[in-house]
Amino acid sequence: MRDVAVIGIGQTKIDEHWDKSLRELAGDAALAAMAEAGVTKVSNVYVGNMLSEGANLQAQLGGLIADWIGQRYSEAVKIESACSSGSAAFRAGFLAVASGEVDVALAVGVEKMTDSPGSEITSSLATAADADWEVEQGLSFVALNALIMKRYLYEYGWAAEDFAEFSINAHENALSNPNARFQLPISKSSYSKSPLICDPINLLDASPIGDGAAAVVLVPANTVSTEAPRIVVAGSAAATDAIAIHSRKSPLWLQAAEISAKKAYAQAGIGPEQIDVFEYHDAFTIVAALSLEAAGFAAPGRGPALAKEGDIKIGGRIPVATLGGLKARGHPVGATGLYQIVEVIQQLRGNAGQTQVTNPEFGMAQNIGGSGSNIVTHIFQRLE
Amino acid sequence: MRDVAVIGIGQTKIDEHWDKSLRELAGDAALAAMAEAGVTKVSNVYVGNMLSEGANLQAQLGGLIADWIGQRYSEAVKIESACSSGSAAFRAGFLAVASGEVDVALAVGVEKMTDSPGSEITSSLATAADADWEVEQGLSFVALNALIMKRYLYEYGWAAEDFAEFSINAHENALSNPNARFQLPISKSSYSKSPLICDPINLLDASPIGDGAAAVVLVPANTVSTEAPRIVVAGSAAATDAIAIHSRKSPLWLQAAEISAKKAYAQAGIGPEQIDVFEYHDAFTIVAALSLEAAGFAAPGRGPALAKEGDIKIGGRIPVATLGGLKARGHPVGATGLYQIVEVIQQLRGNAGQTQVTNPEFGMAQNIGGSGSNIVTHIFQRLE
């Protein structure tokens, strides 16, 4: 397999884009990535998207978007694994380039959630859970995560308030990110006063939906000039777990996160201690905690300690959600994985603005589909 | 890139499987393929499916099916490109194995259309057309194909009846296929009497929907014993075109079929004259004609002549739909591409029963998404 480099990134602001169609959003991000990469032609387009068929009444986004960005006749498909669709699309592009068959691939994640002619979004999001065994019982997606959080609090003795710093940190980091949905600080007090959505998850534990798209261009690393720093894929791995939480070994352990992270660390030849920035999947604060644990940054049950002690802040032991995370940047589900990757690359390039981490070499993005059933981990390295 | 072989195939009968869930259907085909291949573990699962999110209220089929077939923790995603999702999933498995990263991949196509709790199927199928420019006008998917057929008749001077032999041949070939939805012969007279669905497409021009799944196991070719004949992937290519028909160069030419077929021929080092069996995408008889033309078996406008002159029959110049095709085997949309591939392999193995083609060496499967916007072509070779 060939080494693969990322040479262009693009993203739209996450917002209620009522003036932009699905293809326009994807096109804005994709064309920005291509312009930055200096390429006018890509042979393969991989689209990460979860909801288009139900919410936007549009299937085959591959052909739709390839055509819209001037790449008619190229190869193009949609890759779907619920909320990890974006990074799964990236991984498909990575494998296509690494295989030797494809020289320029584009991965673009897109989701349009706030203005959808099709099914209602809470119902659409519930398709990420097990239709026969979970949704059939009337459980929404937030309810599933609330059950996990409740058990976590009981098992490890935390209070819900101990999760506040995950959200406070995310909102703080989003303040200077022009692409974030929310640029407003929150405090421990606003967290405590925020209304319960599904006990014990309150409004500020939960990431907001939104419309948005993010994209990258991938090429063989040996085609990129070594005169300037290059960003290469040092690790790429994915794993699944049972979709229905009751079928898993433990509802409190993200087995697929552990497996994919370990594979990615092994490929990169490093451990969690070498990761300088970690874009994790803080769809809910409980997921942030579970993610830090499964990826090796905290012992089981100790995730919230990292937040409480400031370890997750810029300058801390493991900076996370450095441009706002799902919580404050926003969570356009099928696009999120590519936002995470774009942000890691911004950090490794030194282009992360006011929340830049100092001289990062390795950055990790971990994208979680369902309540932990499909998890993709990527490690990127800055080669000087 | 490594050469890739197919070592196991599996399929369910296409039917109204009201007693089987989506995962059970996929599992039946996948486990049959794995049993035949003699493998109990696959590292990567690629699921071809179009409609699950809207029709079955279930996203992330990757994790769902991997878990159901005992492959929890493996890597698994859904690939979607409308009606070519099945072959796109096969191609993802092919690239993963060819890249050198994956040693055993499973590709499974599944669709459950006749008993869906979600959106109504005609609406779901319309998501394969352009939501903003075609469906918005009230066009269903059959209406789009009817417009193409009407123009074809006008442009090339054929009568609708000249398409009858495509369907008659398909039904004849399905008679002895136990997995086909229809095992009943049709005649020129029944074709002529069949009711119009959307002028000029009548009921017997159109393929039936159905529930079903088909699967294959892919491995590096050099891991397969050369003592018996092996079936290898000799060509694999995909291309897109504009989704909206009005945006294409011509509504009567499948550009993406031509591009992907030419690439696949070049990879295999052959031309159309060496293809011994062709599983084409006869979703409607007009698509059968366009497909034969774009893949190089007939001049533009001459597709129906192949049917009328018997060239498409078993023993003819280019046998098609040898186990019933979409028309009589049935068209469970996201699964169809894998049914086509499974059938080509049945032929190359000499296991096609009463419709066996004599000593085939090369077989081709061409799978069409949308009204021609995402087309995947595979050529398989029997190596003695």
Give a three-class secondary structure readout of B122-177: HHHHHCCCCCCCCHHHCCCHHHHHHHHHHHHHHHHCCCHHHHHHHHHHHHHHHCCC
Domains of chain B as residue ranges with CATH:
4-120+210-223 (3.40.47.10), 124-198+231-383 (3.40.47.10)
- The residues pairing with B218 across neighbouring beta strands, listed in sequence order, are B6, B105
- The residues pairing with A320 across neighbouring beta strands, listed in sequence order, are A278
Coil, helix or strand at residue B228: coil
Per the omega criterion (within 30 degrees of 0), is the bond before B200 cis?
A: yes
Residues B148, B291: Cα–Cα separation, whole Å: 13
C-alpha B327, offset from chain centre: 11
pLDDT digits (tens, 9 = 90+) for A198-210: 999 999 999 999 9
Of B75, B79, B237, the CB nearest to A77: B79
Contact B243 A77 (CB under 8 A): no
Whole-number Cα distances in Å, B360 to B214, B278, B329, B383: 22, 11, 21, 11
Instruction: For chain A, say whether B58 makes contact (Cβ under 8 Å).
Output: yes
pLDDT digits (tens, 9 = 90+) for B67-83: 999 999 999 999 999 99
Is the predicted pLDDT of residue A29 greater than 80, yes or no? Answer: yes
Closest CA to B368 of B158, B145, B201, B190: B145
Residues B180, B192: Cα–Cα separation, whole Å: 23
Which chain B residues have a beta carbon less than 8 Å from that of A99? 1, 95, 98-100
Most B CBs within 10 Å: which of A51, A72, A77, as the mutation test of the B interface?
A: A77
Of B95, B132, B243, the CB nearest to A63: B243
Whole-number Cα distances in Å, B152 to A268, B157, B250: 56, 8, 11
Contact A241 B59 (CB under 8 A): no
Q: Kindly provide the ipTM of the predicted complex, given to two decimals.
A: 0.97
Residue B334 has a pLDDT of 98
Is the predicted pLDDT of residue B325 greater than 90, yes or no? Answer: yes
C-alpha B64, offset from chain centre: 23
Please tell me the distance in Å from B128's CA to the nearest CA on chain A.
5
Element (H, E) at B239: strand B230-240
Residues A380, B303: Cα–Cα separation, whole Å: 51
Instruction: For chain A, say whether B374 makes contact (Cβ under 8 Å).
Output: yes
Q: Which amino acid appears at position A57 of this protein? A: L
Residue B354 has a pLDDT of 98
Burial A262-283 (b: 16+ CB within 10 A, else e): bbbbebbebebeebbbbbbbbb
Residue A86 has a pLDDT of 98
pLDDT digits (tens, 9 = 90+) for A99-130: 999 999 999 999 999 987 777 898 899 999 99
Is the predicted pLDDT of residue B116 greater than 90, yes or no? Answer: no
Of B59, B132, B243, the CB nearest to A67: B243
Q: Output the average pLDDT for chain B.
A: 97
Which chain B residues have a beta carbon less than 8 Å from that of A100? 1, 99
Element (H, E) at B232: strand B230-240
Q: Known catalytic residues of A?
A: 83, 331
B160 pLDDT tier (thresholds 50, 70, 90): very high
Residues B48, B107: Cα–Cα separation, whole Å: 7
Contact B81 A58 (CB under 8 A): no
Q: Known catalytic residues of B?
A: 83, 331
Please tell me the distance in Å from B40's CA to the nearest CA on chain A.
17
Q: Other C-beta atoms within 10 Å of A11: how many?
A: 27
Instruction: For chain B, say whether A121 makes contact (Cβ under 8 Å).
Output: no
Mean pLDDT score, A313-336: 98
Contact A140, A178 (CB under 8 A): no
Residues B66, A242: Cα–Cα separation, whole Å: 8
Residues B3, A383: Cα–Cα separation, whole Å: 32
Residues A29, A214: Cα–Cα separation, whole Å: 5
Is the predicted pLDDT of residue A236 greater than 90, yes or no? Answer: yes
Nearest residue of B to residue A255, measured between CA atoms = B73
Contact A60 B135 (CB under 8 A): no
Coil, helix or strand at residue A237: strand
Whole-number Cα distances in Å, B86 to B12, B46, B129, B160, B324: 14, 9, 18, 30, 17
pLDDT digits (tens, 9 = 90+) for B7-66: 999 999 999 999 999 999 999 999 999 999 999 999 999 999 999 998 999 999 999 999
Residues A22, A16: Cα–Cα separation, whole Å: 12
Is the predicted pLDDT of residue A321 greater than 80, yes or no? Answer: yes
Closest CA to A379 of A258, A303, A290, A277: A277
Nearest residue of B to residue A242, measured between CA atoms = B67
Q: Output the average pLDDT for chain A.
A: 97
> What does the DSSP 8-state code read for residue B243?
S
Interface list for A 207-266 with B (CB within 8 A): 237-243, 247, 255-256, 259
Which chain B residues have a beta carbon less than 8 Å from that of A113? none
Q: What is the 3-class SS of chain A, one letter each residue? A: CCCEEEEEEEECCCECCCCCCHHHHHHHHHHHHHHHHCCCCCCEEEEECCCHHHHCCCCCHHHHHHHHCCCCCCEEEEEEECECHHHHHHHHHHHHHHCCCCCCEEEEEEECCCCCCCCCHHHHHHCCCCCCCCHHHCCCHHHHHHHHHHHHHHHHCCCHHHHHHHHHHHHHHHCCCCCCCCCCCCCHHHHHHCCEEECCEEHHHECCCCEEEEEEEEEEHHHCCCCCCEEEEEEEEEEECCCCHHHCCCCCCCHHHHHHHHHHHHHHCCCHHHCCEEECCCCEHHHHHHHHHHCCCCCCCCHHHHHHCCCCCCCCCCCECCCCHHHHHCCCHHHHHHHHHHHHHHHHHCCCHHHCCCCCCEEEEEEEECCCCEEEEEEEEEEC
Is the predicted pLDDT of residue B120 greater than 90, yes or no? Answer: no
Strands (E), A40-96: 44-48, 75-80
